[in-house]
Amino acid sequence: MKAIIKITCLLIISSFFMSSCSKDYLDLEPLDAITEESVWKDIKLIDLYVNDRYNELPHGYTQWAGGLRLTGITDESYHMHEARFLDKYTQGGLTSGSLNMYYFNGFWLDAYSAIRNQNIFLENIQKFEGGEDEKIKRLTAEIKFLRAFFYNELISRYGGVPLVKKTFDLNSDFNVSRATYEECLNFIVDELDAAIPDLLTKADATGENFGRITKGAAIGLKIRALMMYASPLNNTTYEVDKWTEVSNACEELFNLNEYSLSNNYPALFLNPMDPEVIFFKQFIDQYGFQLVDELSDYYYHYRGGHNINEWRFPNGDGGWISENPRQEFVDQYETINGHIPVLGYTGPADNLEPIINPETPDFDPSNPYINRDPRLAYSIIFNGADFKGRELQMWYGGKDSRDPDVDFWWNGSRLGYGIRKGLDEDWSLQAATGGDQPWIYMRLSEFYLTYAEAQFHLGNISRAVEYVNLIRERNSVNMPPIDESGDVLAKIKHERKIELAFEGNRWYDARRWKDAEVDFAKDIVAVEPIYNLETEEITYRYFYFEGGAGNRSFPENHYLWPIPIEEILKSNLQQNPGY
């Protein structure tokens, strides 16, 4: 869909009023602008208007934290270049002020700006009289999906929000109250159900339509909305019927018979044509990313393409290795016999001793990255890993260390790790180009795991286990199956944590499960590889990165973000509790 990716059309919608001109002048179209009226008469301009709405979608490859780049405020990783901003999220100090919410509350403003543009389309599309009925229905369905997408993201962050379904004029009442979460959820589901029949199938989304919103994407978004509603954060009375709706929506997706699990886990993140991929954002010829500090709102906004390769490559290859996976998260990757190898740490804060799981005889503490779930090596950069044809040297003095004698040493990892998932290892700093790998919003594995979770809550334990094992046993992963013994829900949560690591899901999952108070409050463990020049052996020192003094916390009020203080001051909106 090159039009969507390559063309960022700025439609200057304006009205021209003349009081004393001849009829000839009144009949002329302006030469330097496109009038609002002319847009809705021309199918090409309507196409471009919708394409530009795709460009408003947030993604997880922004330069700094923000949008859907959320891993640095979870227990997955530590963002070493933004700690001064993100500490407010990770250390329990979040407030509604613009400085504390600098990276994230721009989303509120961007979302409502996008919703306004979507409302403009929906209010005006009936003016088109040029036929093309099927195309108009499809474009309308795409706009409905996009509006539902932004509302789902808003309620996932803030709870119930104002449901703005039409544009305002000078006579409008701007004091729109917050709708309830349930009202927002029902609106989202209704919008998606209305859109699904008119959207393309995956088979039809080819050629110039490649990358357009499909039926599968709309069903996937509906699943996410229903899942969040059914989870403990919002389902406080544990109404099991809500999980029935999740299960039914998953089966609606599966019954399309358009998607299958990838046989190449590491490559699927570079290939939007992979059979597992359901919805994605392309970046073609979009190196020109732009960071915007709007003087009108004092928040961070992100536009354009990305260069996630430079931002996450190891410093030995000129990268920033921005987010450093935490040792406790690395420990969650099982050994090939299906058990977590490290259960915790003991001893002094600067020289911790791993507590080795006795059920992992295949784990070697002196070589901790062998005999592990293959997704560890696919997803994480670590000392000794093969990267671009060389062995990474993260020990002090090595090419990828923080030794001041090393090039780009200031970008060396502080925790001993980096994120590998989604990197294009053919990229190099010398190429002076951006990244063109897609941001994948949805893939089939996520919904297999959602279905497993729903089946667990509905009492269908064997069905839940079956769908987890479909993911674990596929080619390129080949992990042993789980069984029905013990805490099956914990096993499902664990699989979701590993399978979807660094894809933006963890922040939503830990919150909807109400697990974030514990999981996000754990102190950071780091690793230092130590190289012995005489024996050429590597040993590992584990330590609390911040001293292990309880710096991390996740108060109850952090389950929802504060509405931007500017919105509260100029309206009758009620702020979220605790802010």
C-alpha span between 203 and 380 (Å, rounded): 33
Per-residue model confidence (pLDDT) at position 279: 98
Of the two residues 38 and 223, the one the predictor is more confident about is: 223
Per-residue model confidence (pLDDT) at position 15: 34
Per-residue model confidence (pLDDT) at position 101: 80
C-alpha span between 179 and 239 (Å, rounded): 21
Q: Residue 508: pLDDT band by 50, 70, 90 thresholds?
A: very high
Per-residue model confidence (pLDDT) at position 301: 82
Average pLDDT estimate for 115-129: 96
Of the two residues 347 and 173, the one the predictor is more confident about is: 347
Task: Please enumerate in sequence order all residues whose Cβ is within 8 A of that of 175, keeping only pairs 6 or more positions apart, or say none.
Answer: 571, 572
User: Would you say residue 23 has pLDDT above 60?
Assistant: no
Specify whether the CB–CB gap between 341 and 360 falls below 8 A.
Answer: yes
Q: Residue 17: pLDDT band by 50, 70, 90 thresholds?
A: very low
Average pLDDT, the chain: 91
User: Would you say residue 330 has pLDDT above 80?
Assistant: yes
Report CA dihedral (542, 544, 548, 552) to the nearest 10 degrees: -130
Specify whether the CB–CB gap between 315 and 321 falls below 8 A.
Answer: yes
Q: What is the pLDDT of residues 91-120, one digit of tens each?
A: 998 888 766 787 888 899 999 999 999 999
Of the two residues 386 and 15, the one the predictor is more confident about is: 386
User: Would you say residue 194 has pLDDT above 70?
Assistant: yes
Strand, helix or coil for residue 301: strand
Per-residue model confidence (pLDDT) at position 331: 98
Read off the tokens for 226. Answer: 């229903």
Per-residue model confidence (pLDDT) at position 69: 93
Average pLDDT estimate for 24-49: 73
Average pLDDT estimate for 49-55: 95
C-alpha span between 530 and 153 (Å, rounded): 43
Q: What is the pLDDT of residues 408-437, one digit of tens each?
A: 999 999 999 999 999 999 999 887 777 889
Q: Residue 329: pLDDT band by 50, 70, 90 thresholds?
A: very high
Per-residue model confidence (pLDDT) at position 291: 58
Residue type present at position 479: M
C-alpha span between 575 and 579 (Å, rounded): 7
Average pLDDT estimate for 221-232: 98
User: Would you say residue 284 has pLDDT above 90?
Assistant: no
Please, what sign has the CA dihedral across residues 164, 59, 220, 159? negative
Q: What is the pLDDT of residues 433-477, one digit of tens each?
A: 778 899 999 999 999 999 999 999 999 999 999 999 999 999 999
Q: What is the pLDDT of residues 526-563, one digit of tens each?
A: 999 999 999 999 999 999 998 877 789 999 999 999 99
Task: Please enumerate in sequence order all residues whose Cβ is within 8 A of that of 95, keeping only pairs 6 or more positions apart, or say none.
Answer: 88, 101, 562, 579
Average pLDDT estimate for 211-216: 98
Q: How far apart are the first and last CA of the chain?
A: 43
Please, what sign has the CA dihedral across residues 373, 379, 383, 388? positive
Per-residue model confidence (pLDDT) at position 289: 56
C-alpha span between 67 and 302 (Å, rounded): 8
Per-residue model confidence (pLDDT) at position 302: 80
Per-residue model confidence (pLDDT) at position 287: 53
Q: Residue 84: pLDDT band by 50, 70, 90 thresholds?
A: confident
Residue type present at position 8: T
pTM: 0.92
Average pLDDT estimate for 309-314: 95
C-alpha span between 284 and 2 (Å, rounded): 8
Average pLDDT estimate for 301-310: 86
C-alpha span between 401 and 410 (Å, rounded): 9
Specify whether the CB–CB gap between 225 and 188 falls below 8 A.
Answer: yes
Q: What is the pLDDT of residues 345-375, one digit of tens each?
A: 999 999 999 999 999 999 999 999 999 999 9
C-alpha span between 30 and 27 (Å, rounded): 10
Q: What percent of the chain stands above pLDDT 90? A: 78
Strand, helix or coil for residue 98: coil
Per-residue model confidence (pLDDT) at position 310: 93
Strand, helix or coil for residue 292: strand
Cα angle at 494 between 467 and 527, to 5 degrees? 145
Measured in whole angstroms, how far is the alpha carbon of residue 312 from the centre of its chain? 16
Per-residue model confidence (pLDDT) at position 575: 96
Per-residue model confidence (pLDDT) at position 505: 98
Per-residue model confidence (pLDDT) at position 321: 96
